[in-house]
Amino acid sequence: MHGYKEPTSARSSASCVCSAGGRVGPSGHKEAQIERLKAQNPDLKDRVTDRDAAIEELTEFKKLSLSRLAAQRDEIMRSRSPQSFPEPAPPAEPATLPRARTTV
């Protein structure tokens, strides 16, 4: 794997200019960059956390929406079906009950 290589112009100079205006050696520049990245890290972690929460919320919304759409589709399909209004069943024949025996 390839490592990071500084440009030749940066390696040849003994020092570079810091954003504060002071002269800093090559190792000081790297340390300043490390500190800047460390300062940015919490903000980036917060952004990732916020995005994860938004994704989770949108995923739940999507599930609910798809569920509702499926239920609506099922209802429409049932209402369009010719079997949705079935013919009434013929009346059942009255059951014949055995007559009570009477003793004379």
**Domain tally, the chain:** 1
Quote the domain boundaries for residue 46: 42-82
Q: Are 16 and 10 in contact (CB under 8 A)?
A: yes
89 in any annotated domain:
no
How many C-beta neighbours within 10 Å does residue 68 have? 10
Quickly state the pLDDT bin for 99 (edges 50, 70, 90): confident
60 in any annotated domain:
yes
What was the pLDDT predicted at 84? 53
61 in any annotated domain:
yes
For residue 17, the cross-strand partners are 23
Q: Are 18 and 32 in contact (CB under 8 A)?
A: yes
18 in any annotated domain:
no
31 in any annotated domain:
no
Picking from 12-16, 34-38, 70-74, 94-98, which range would have the lowest pLDDT averaged per residue?
12-16
19 in any annotated domain:
no
93 in any annotated domain:
no
CA distance 29 to 22: 11
